[in-house]
Structure 1
Amino acid sequence: MQRPHNLQSLPASRSLWGFSSSKPAGQPAPEPESFAPTPSPERTSAASPPDVPISATATPDVFPDSIIPPSTLPYSDSLDTITTIAPLQFGDLAALGLAGWSPPGLSGWLLETINVSTGLPWFYTIIAGTVFARLLLLPFSIKQMQNSARLAPYQPRLLALKEEVNRAYATRDKLAVQRAALQQRKVYEDAGVSMLPMLAMPFVQLPVTLGMFFGVKRLSLLPLEQLHWSGVGFMPDLTVADPYYILPIISAVAMNVQLTVSEYISTADRVTMAHMINAFRIVSVISIPLMGAFPTGLNLYVLTSILAMLAQTSLLRVAAVRRTFGIPVLPKTNTKAVTFQESISHLKKYFREQSEIAQKRAAEKKW
């Protein structure tokens, strides 16, 4: 039997062992013969590399020259992951249920529009969306400050009417309540302020602020795959919590600075405002562990929002800016700061008065 020259020249009817896969009729199968494969004529030229044993490397017949083994390619986890995450497109968040006509849905649509239209990384997308939302609320903030400035000369009268209303409610004197309400409306008319828009102004800003908060929270907790790559090296993944509480601590510090600036810019009842600011200072410190459990993207929104409010408040303290928007310039006051002990005493007094009112009402019902 003629021996084959090499493995590549084996006929199709033969197996890899070198003998026929079909037996001739009436003849036993021949015993396999041992042989050593001889090199083909075309591989014996001087330009060809020497033969390498099959066990050492794959022959060109098994792995063509155009295929490079994967182990020889450069490998990078970051690059491989980035190439597998497609950029966000218009309508992707709506398909995921993260965009719609609710306040969080509108916030998601805003962030999607910024990210897709500008190509900004998500770190800067959240910052840009937060600043844009604060700019939308700027006219309402200016209007609220204008109304507060107009009511500032009438604050003693408004405080007296407020106490009169509380006494009327305590005694259930409906006529006194209506009389005090009419007098309060007259004060607003004298100041040139519409009472209903003045009271509704905070509720207009609330949906935008909470909508952005819960919108960013939903994107971070889903999590949206694109948020795994923020675009900055010091904060690569916006879907994980900050293990060092850096952003929550900075947010608490910025919040206290913002509260200090707001205390001096307010033209309303400064004592009541000071008690509220002290309460917010305590809340800002207590909330550090809570905010530390949130994703980094949400903490980035909170910090950006606080810094934007701080910049806005500081700008509206400038006399030239206040005159431009028709806001009276802040008078110089020497009001003594309210301590935390005074705020605690004020809170205890409030609860004690409310308890006495409740007891009086309970006694009236018995009789």
Structure 2
Amino acid sequence: MMSKRMQIWRATQAVLTLNSTCNRASTQMFSLGGSSRDMHLSSSWSNQLSNRIIAAPLIPLYASAPGAIRFASSQKDITVESVPSKEIVDLPAIPDAPTPPSNLVTESFMEAGEPSFASIGLGGWSPPGMIQNCMEFLHCTWDIPWWGAIAIGTLCVRTLIFPLVILAQRNSAKMSNNMPQMQVLQLKMTEARQSGNAIESARYAQEMMLFMREKGVNPLKNMIVPLAQAPLFISFFMGLRQMANTPVESMRDGGLFWFTDLTLADPYYLLPVITSATLYLTIELGTDSARLSAANMNTMKYVLRALPIVIFPFTMNFPAAILTYWACSNFISLGQVALLRIPKVRDYFKIEKMISHPPSALPAKKKGFVGGMKESWDNMKITKEIEERQRLDEIRFAKAGKGPLVKTFKYDPTKPHSSPVNPNSSPSTNPNQIETQVTSNLKSSSKH
């Protein structure tokens, strides 16, 4: 064993000596001022030579005996003990790369190359979120500009509630045709209530209910369309305002004509003017409910007429997207009322023909704005006085039932009353006279 190790050590020393000799030869050539090409050749030659010499003793040759290594050397064959082989570990197979989902692009980006609403915090299952999802679908799937998507969404919603508009128009026509009889009962009920006759007032109210049930009239049906439009308007308002405030970048140039930027207010204030004007026409013509010219509106019609003027300062600062929806909704309402004015259309939807009653045929006379306000104020005062009178009567009745009896007579009728004795007259012993005297005294006390 020692002899084998000595032979290996001697071979290694010989290789190292030859390698150092080659390095010195290359250094001397460089110091003698050889050309760069010679230096390159000499250095490359020395490196190759050293590599071959170093690698030569390490090239194993298969020996006859297992576990032995044979080296290519001019010396005698050398055998060394084989190095223990490394243990092979069975690793699990590498899994295949996952395939990307097909909707990976649509989750973060729209088909038009814009960020999706979900990635910027919009959409969802709330009413404003569903409105935003519908707007996104119209804009991305059909490549419709934002103003067109808002208009189409408004048209779809108003089409869905069109049956309610027809129901309100039928009820409005019936109320207008039966207005004289209803006003007679209403005036009688008002007079009975103002006079404090609760029984008569209740009787006329019952007659009014029976009459409206017979004619198929219900004043609450006129409020169906406003009540149905309220949640839709709030959902559109909140959804479009969130889209404008986020903002959705494509809405900056998604407008039309002079309002190209839907995220900002109209710089020329034309959209607020158009919205207020169309709202006034919608209220005046009575698209969704009874017309304001009907006498049953009274003071409310003046309040509704003033509404477009009151809301104008607030709509001036609304984003153009909200006013686009509002104006489209008003134009659709005007189109519906124009359609329902056609006789054939009214006959198809079974809407009665409106009967125009002359003012002389109506019991309630028009009193104008000032007269109507004064009458309403007087009715409120009379109603308050009647309620106060009833409250005092109840207090007096309760007090009379709990307190002591109030003396309302001069003599107690339950006790006999004797007349004062005249000293000059002699006492009468006749019982008939005494009975007659007691009876007269009782009658006089009962009169008192």
| TM-score, normalisation: structure 2 | 0.52
For 1:96, the equivalent position in structure 2 comes to 121
Does residue 346 (structure 1) correspond to residue 379 (structure 2)? The answer is: no
Structure with higher Rg: it is 2
Cα deviation for residue 311 of structure 1 reads 1.0
RMSD: 3.8
User: Counterparts in 2 of 1:199-278, with a 5 A limit?
Assistant: 200=224, 202-232=226-256, 234-262=258-286, 266=290, 270-273=294-297, 276-278=300-302
User: Counterparts in 2 of 1:172-187, with a 5 A limit?
Assistant: 179-187=203-211
Task: Give the Cα separation in 1 of the matches to 2:187 and 2:242.
Answer: 44
In the alignment, residue 337 of structure 2 is paired with which amino acid?
T
Determine which of 357, 374, 391 is the counterpart of 1:365: 391
Q: Secondary structure at the match of 2:272?
A: helix
Aligned positions, number: 277
Cα deviation for residue 193 of structure 1 reads 5.2
Cα deviation for residue 245 of structure 1 reads 1.1
1:251–1:303 Cα contact (<8 Å) kept: yes
Cα deviation for residue 183 of structure 1 reads 2.9
The C-alpha deviation readout for 1:299-355, integer Å capped at 9, x for no partner, is: 11111111111111111111121112111233456669xxx9922431343134223
Structure 1 350/197 Cα, relative in aligned 2: closer, same or farther at 3 Å?
A: closer
In the alignment, residue 342 of structure 1 is paired with which amino acid?
G
Task: Give the Cα separation in 2 of the matches to 1:260 and 1:341.
Answer: 19
Q: Secondary structure at the match of 1:223?
A: coil
2:276–2:309 Cα contact (<8 Å) kept: yes
The C-alpha deviation readout for 1:239-288, integer Å capped at 9, x for no partner, is: 1112321111122222333344339x947871344754443332212322
For 1:65, the equivalent position in structure 2 comes to none
Task: Give the Cα separation in 2 of the matches to 1:244 and 1:351.
Answer: 42
Task: Give the Cα separation in 2 of the matches to 1:120 and 1:193.
Answer: 44
Task: Give the Cα separation in 2 of the matches to 1:101 and 1:171.
Answer: 53
- List gaps (5 residues or longer) in structure 2: 1-109, 361-365, 394-448
Task: Give the Cα separation in 1 of the matches to 2:256 and 2:220.
Answer: 46
Identity rate of aligned residues, in percent? 22
Cα deviation for residue 131 of structure 1 reads 1.5
Task: Give the Cα separation in 2 of the matches to 1:140 and 1:305.
Answer: 15
The C-alpha deviation readout for 1:118-150, integer Å capped at 9, x for no partner, is: 221111111111121111111100111112223
Does residue 114 (structure 1) correspond to residue 142 (structure 2)? The answer is: no
| TM-score, normalisation: structure 1 | 0.62
For 1:137, the equivalent position in structure 2 comes to 161
Structure 1 232/151 Cα, relative in aligned 2: closer, same or farther at 3 Å?
A: closer
Task: Give the Cα separation in 1 of the matches to 2:186 and 2:367.
Answer: 25
- List gaps (5 residues or longer) in structure 1: 1-82
In the alignment, residue 254 of structure 1 is paired with which amino acid?
T
Q: Which has the higher contact order (CA 8 A, sep 6+)?
A: 1
Task: Give the Cα separation in 2 of the matches to 1:357 and 1:318.
Answer: 44
User: Counterparts in 2 of 1:1-367, with a 5 A limit?
Assistant: 86-87=113-114, 89=116, 92=118, 96=121, 98-102=123-127, 104-163=128-187, 179-192=203-216, 200=224, 202-232=226-256, 234-262=258-286, 266=290, 270-273=294-297, 276-331=300-355, 342-366=368-392
2:122–2:243 Cα contact (<8 Å) kept: no
For 2:46, the equivalent position in structure 1 comes to none
Structure 1 92/166 Cα, relative in aligned 2: closer, same or farther at 3 Å?
A: farther
Structure 1 150/261 Cα, relative in aligned 2: closer, same or farther at 3 Å?
A: closer
